[in-house]
Structures are given as C-alpha cells and as structure tokens.
Amino acid sequence: MAVIGKITGRDEAAYRREVASLVAWCEDNNLTLNTDKTKEMIVDMRKKSSTHQPLFIRELEVERVSSFKYLGVNISEDLTWTLNTTQLVKKAQQRLYFLRRMRKFGMSPKILNSFYSCVVESVLTSCITVWYGNTTVADRKRLQRVVKTAEKIIRTPLPSLQTVYHRRVHRRAATILKDPTHPQHGLFTLLPSGRRYRSVKCRTSRLSNSVFPSAIRLLNA
C-alpha cells in the first residue's frame, strides 16, 4: 500500500492529512499499520531542497529512505533508475547460468529462446514502460549487454530492449485508446486533422521521456 501526498513549498499539511486519512481508514477497517515496516520517501527535485519534519504514526517515527522497492521496481528519491538497473542486471545475469547449462545439455535453440523470453527477458523488461524512457545511456548499455550475452549463448538474434520498450508502450497506448474510462484516456486527443495526436506539453526531459508523451510520439510516428 502506498500513499502519495503533495508538499507545496514548506506546507506539508496536505501530505500529512493524506497519511492521517490512511491511518484512520486502517483503524476503521480493523487493520494495523506496522510502523517498523513503513517507509517514507520524499521526492524533491528543487536545487535547494527544504528540510522536512519527521513523520510520526502513533507517536512512532517513520523511517525516511532514499530508495524503496515497490511492486518489484526500485524507486529512488532523485527519480533516477541506476539502482533499479543494477538489481535487474544482477538478477538476469544469475539466470543466464541456467541458459548456459541448458545449451551444454544440448537443448535446441527454440527451447533456449523460449527459456530466455520467459526467465531472462521477463526480468529485464519488468515494468519497462515505467522506467526505461528515463534510464541513462550507461544503464541501457548494461541492460543490453545481458541481451548480447544471451544471443551468444543461444546463437540467434534477440529483440533489443529498445524494441521491446517501444512495443510495450505502443500496446499500452492502444489499450488506453480503447478504454474511455481509463484515467489517462483524455491525454490522447486527436488534432483537427484527425490523423495525429496532440503532444503533451513537457517542461522537463523527465516528463518528456515518460510513458505517455513517449506513447503519443510513437503513435504519431
């Protein structure tokens, strides 16, 4: 369970109301929040960040962390993805061992390819639409190096992560377009020509490289 609250300037009132609301909801539904397992992460992209007061739940201070793993994705307070990339590469490299063993036992390239897709690629591309657009060139090379190693083991070409990312983003966009009830459906509006979609105005490269602006660019390509 995650709570997201906005801190405007030095005013943390709205954020703390969100936390208090969650605590009250848990109490009303006979649930107990484990403060020892509760973490707080503050994302502050300003050049001069403010000092934030500690968060308390039932008079117990909540630990503040610089990164947190949520639904399998390592999110850092500076919204960079190097830590997430490191964890994915480490996990995928461990699974390459089994791919090597299978080849040594004489498995066919078709079986090796299927194993790669199910066991290795599935790790590298977990929630890829969330983070890949804002990864650094160095991180992308580290990820792609795993794919290249798998290609040498299987001895067949494999789709690059860039290709997989574009495919997943396009699929996500198609799903949203078919669902008028989707919260982000309104972002995909056609221009008067009826052939291209209106671009999302982005003030930062971080937003421009995120999934929805990227999806619109792919649809317009």
Query: Which tens digits make up the pLDDT trace of 17-41?
Result: 889 999 999 999 998 888 888 999 9
Split at pLDDT 50, 70, 90, the class of 46 is confident
Which residues lie below 8 Å from residue 124, measured CB to CB, with a gap of 6+?
A: 88, 89, 92, 143, 146, 147, 161
Q: Rounded to 5, what percent of the chain is helix, strand, coil? A: 55, 10, 40
Split at pLDDT 50, 70, 90, the class of 1 is confident
- pLDDT at position 47: 74
Average per-residue pLDDT for the chain: 92
Q: Out of 55-59, 74-78, 199-203, which region has the weakest mean confidence (pLDDT)?
A: 55-59
- Mean of pLDDT values over 58-70: 91
In the predicted model, is pLDDT for residue 109 greater than 80? yes
- pLDDT at position 6: 80
- pLDDT at position 7: 80
- pLDDT at position 10: 77
Residue 158 burial (C-beta neighbours within 10 Å; 0-12, 13-18, 19+)? middle
Domain boundaries, the chain: 13-65, 82-158, 165-220
What CA–CA distance (Å, rounded) separates 146 from 122? Answer: 12
pTM: 0.85
Instruction: Give per-residue pLDDT as tens, 113-158.
Output: 999 999 999 999 999 999 999 999 999 999 999 999 999 999 999 9
Instruction: Give per-residue pLDDT as tens, 169-186.
Output: 999 999 999 999 999 999
Q: Return the closest-CA partner of residue 216 out of 182, 172, 181.
A: 172
Cβ count within 10 A of residue 3: 12
**Is the C-alpha dihedral spanning 199, 128, 164, 134 positive or negative?**
positive
- pLDDT at position 5: 82
